[in-house]
Amino acid sequence: MAKIVGITIGPIIETISESKKIYEIANASSFFSNIIYEFLCNIETDTYDIITPNFKDSDKCKNNNEKFYPDRVVLKVKDASRKEEEILKEIDGIYQNIVSNEKLIELKDYINFNIIVEELDEENIKKIFEHLDGIELIKNFSNRDEIKDIIKRINRYLENKKTLNKEFDVNFGMDNGNEESGYRAIIALDLDNMGKFSQKKLEETLEISEAVYRYIESLNKFISKKYDKKQEGLVLYSAGDDVLAILNPKHIFEFIEEACNKLNEIFSCFENRDLSVSFGIFICYAKYPIKEAIEKAHSLLFSKAKAIRNTASILIEKHSGQSVEINLENLIDKEEGKFNRNNNYFKYMKNSLSNGKSNSNDEENKERLLNAIVQKVSRDSFIFEAIINNSEKEKMIKSYLSELFDAKLEGKEQLEYLEKLLCSIEDKEKFSKEFRQILSFFRMLKFYVSRGKGEGR
C-alpha cells in the first residue's frame, strides 16, 4: 500500500465567473496557478514524489508566470510508515507559509486549500481523483459583493508580476481587431477517454502526467503565438487536460487540426486507441458578456461535443441575434490515430478560408451566392429528400443545382461543395440531421466571408 496525498485549490471557476473583464479572468486563473507553483517549489523531493502535475527540480524558482499549473496536486509519500496526522500537518505548514505573505494574508480566508491522505494500491492511485471530486463539493462560498472585492485584491497581489492589465494588446477580433469590436472565439477543450490509459504502475501514471503537460503546453504556445508581430489569442485557464482560451475566429480550424495532430504525436506511445479531443467553441461579438460567453463554450463542450466525443461543437451568435451551430464529428481517425483529413465539412471550410486575399467584388459575389444557397436549398429541402434514395441521385442533384444557380467563377467552388455534401447523404433516415448540417456549414461560411472581406486569411 502507498500513502497518497491529494490537494485541491479554489474556488477557481467561481472567481472566473464573477470576473467581468478578460484581464481579470486571466489574472484570477494566474493567481491560483501561482500558489500551486510556490507550493510545488517547497515540496521536498526526498520526502515526496510529485505524481501530478509534471514538475521537476529544474522548474523551481523560475519565473513561470506564463505557465499554468492545475488546481490539483497528487503526491506519493516515500515513507509509507509515516502517520497521516504528521503528513497533513507538514503539507498544511507549507501552504500556511505561502499565504502568510503580507499581500496574501487578506485573501487567505477566501482560498479553499483542501488536503487528503489515502492509502491506495499503486495500481489504483488514480482513485485519489475520485476522493478529490468529493472534497471539492465542500467549499466556502463568498457573497458576490465580497468576490468583486476579492478580484481587486487579486489584481493588487499580482501587480508586480507579469500579468494582464486593461491596456493589454491582443487582437481577438475578425473585424478591426480591438477590444471593443469584431468577433472572438471562446474555446473550451477537454481530452476524451483519459480513464482508459493503463496506470497499473506509478511509472505509467508519471509518464501520462508528463505527456498531458507537454500536450497542453503545445496548445498554449499555439494560442499565444503572434501573427504579424501581434498576438491573436490568450489562454485564460489551463490545467490538467483542459484549456479555456480566447482566439481570433480566423484560426479556430487551424487550432483544431493542431490539437488533433499533437494528440497523436505525444500520446502515440501509449495504448489508448480511444483517446480523442473535444471542443466547445462559441464565437460572439466582442461586447458579448465574457462570463456568459465562457458558460456557452463550456455548455457546448460538455452537453454536446463530449456527448459525442471526438467532436468540435461550434456556435456563432451574430450581433443581430441570429445564430449558426454545427458539429464537426470524427476529428481523429481512430484507425490511423491522426487527424481525419476526410472530414468534408472541416476540409471545405479550411480550403475556403485559406484561398488568400480576394478583391471586394469577388467576396461580395461569394456572399450573395452563399445567401442564395441557404435560401434556395432550404426552400427546396423536400425535393432533395424525395430523390435521396434514387439510384441516380448524383445525376439528379447535379442537374437540379444547375437549374437553381448560375455559377460564376468565384462561386464554382462553393457549388461543388454543395453538390458533394448533398450527394453524401445516404438515406432518408439521416436526411434531416445531415441536411441541417449542410445549411449550417454554408451559413458559417457566409459569416466568415462577410466578416473577412478583403482580408488575407
Supply the CATH classification number for the domain 2-157. 3.30.70.2220
Angle between helices 360-379 and 412-423 (to 10 degrees): 30
Extract the C-alpha cell encoding 236. 485564460
Residue-level pLDDT at 41? 92
Confidence of residue 272 (pLDDT cuts 50, 70, 90): confident
Nearest Cα residue to 56 out of 76, 37, 71: 37
Cα 151–Cα 157–Cα 161 angle in degrees, nearest 5: 120
Residues 1/107, Cβ–Cβ less than 8 Å: no
Classify residue 416 as left (phi > 0), alpha (psi -120 to 50) or beta.
alpha
Q: Tell me which long-range contacts 345-349 makes (C-beta under 8 A, separation of at least 24).
A: 345/421, 345/437, 345/441, 346/253, 346/256, 346/257, 348/417, 348/421, 348/441, 348/445, 349/253, 349/441, 349/444, 349/445, 349/448
Confidence of residue 125 (pLDDT cuts 50, 70, 90): confident
pLDDT score of 179: 45
φ, ψ at 454 (rounded to 5°): 80, -5
Structure-model confidence comparison of residues 372 and 157, the more confident one:
372
**pLDDT tens-digit series, residues 357-375:** 555 566 777 888 888 899 9
**What is d(CA 413, CA 411) in angstroms, rounded to the nearest whole number?**
6
Listed in order, strand segments (DSSP E) in 352-441 are: none
Mean pLDDT of 334-358: 79
Write down the pLDDT at residue 133: 79
Give the whole-angstrom CA distance, residue 170 versus residue 106.
31
- CA 34 to chain CA centroid, Å, is 21
**How many whole angstroms separate alpha carbon 76 and alpha carbon 51?**
7
Domain spans in the chain, listed from the N-terminal domain onward = 2-157, 183-342, 360-451
Residue 180 has pLDDT above 90, yes or no: no
- What whole-number percentage of the chain has pLDDT above 70? 86
Number of other CB atoms surrounding residue 291 within 10 Å: 14
Residue 126's pLDDT band, with cuts at 50, 70 and 90, is confident
Q: Give me 252's grid cell.
A: 479556430
**Average pLDDT for residues 45-56, to the nearest whole number?**
90
Determine the Cα angle at 53 with ends 55 and 196, to 5°. Answer: 135
Q: What is the mean pLDDT of residues 23-52?
A: 90
Q: Is 103 helix (H, G, I), strand (E, B) or coil?
A: coil
Q: Predicted confidence band at 405 (pLDDT cuts at 50, 70, 90)?
A: confident
Spell out a b/e string for 169-188, using b for 16 or more CB atoms within 10 Å of the CB, else e.
ebbbbbeebebeebbbbbbb
Q: If pLDDT is split at 50, 70 and 90, which confidence band does 137 have?
A: low
CATH, range 183-342: 3.30.70.270
Q: What is the rounded (10 degree) CA torsion for 22, 26, 27, 29?
A: 140
CB 186 within 8 A of CB 246: yes
Encode pLDDT of 57-97 as tens digits.
Answer: 767 766 555 578 888 999 999 999 999 999 999 999 999 99
The overall average pLDDT reported for the chain is 84
Residue 325 scores a pLDDT above 90: yes
